[in-house]
Copies of this chain bind each other. A is one copy, B any other.
Amino acid sequence: MLLSKSCVYGLRASLYLAARDENGYVPIREMSDKLEISFHFLTKILQQLTGEGMLESYKGPNGGVRLTRSGEDISLMEVVMAIDGDYMLTECALGLPGCGVMKPCPIHEKWAETRDGIRDMLESTTLTELTKKGKDFDLRITAEGGFRDLM
């Protein structure tokens, strides 16, 4: 799998937060219910995003988490890097250590081009762009439900 499950859940949660444009704190319990993700597991993932500064959290009643910046300014890449790190964009396709321009494997060059395609997509796509599309066309954010059910 290209992205780990943690990362995928992190992306869905980030989209959920961006979609709720009232910018109050959103309880993790609410998100785990709506997105059908284990509460404790989601909590762990969101803690990573909080640690990276993408989210901020607040304890107590009416607490929860929220984006620190506008969803317009947050790319998918930011979420992926916070959770999965950059292995996807640096790792050799043949698994050879230290593969790079200095000591390439035969697939290195072609793989690097392909990877750039992935990188560009992740970097150029923002949360808001996707939530807008999601709301306009009622696309899916959970196994069954679309954006409109959710809000």
When the two chains form their complex, are residues A131 and B106 in contact, meaning their CB atoms are under 8 A apart? yes
Q: Does A125 contact B (CB under 8 A)?
A: yes
When the two chains form their complex, are residues A105 and B2 in contact, meaning their CB atoms are under 8 A apart? no
Oligomer copy total: 2
When the two chains form their complex, are residues B117 and A5 in contact, meaning their CB atoms are under 8 A apart? no
With both beta carbons as reference points, the residue of chain B lying nearest to A139 in the complex is identified as: B106
Instruction: Indicate whether A103 sits within 8 Å of B3 (C-beta atoms), given known contacts A113-B121, A121-B111.
Output: no
By the criterion of a CB under 8 Å from any partner CB, how many residues of chain A are at the interface?
42
Q: Nearest chain B CB to A107's CB is how many angstroms away?
A: 6
Which A10-68 residues have C-beta < 8 A from chain B?
11-12, 15
When the two chains form their complex, are residues A141 and B105 in contact, meaning their CB atoms are under 8 A apart? yes
Q: Which of B2, B87, B106, B143 contacts A15 (CB 8 A)?
A: B106
Instruction: Indicate whether A125 sits within 8 Å of B140 (C-beta atoms), given known contacts A11-B94, A87-B1.
Output: no
Q: Which of B8, B104, B114, B131 contacts A94 (CB 8 A)?
A: B8
When the two chains form their complex, are residues B94 and A12 in contact, meaning their CB atoms are under 8 A apart? yes
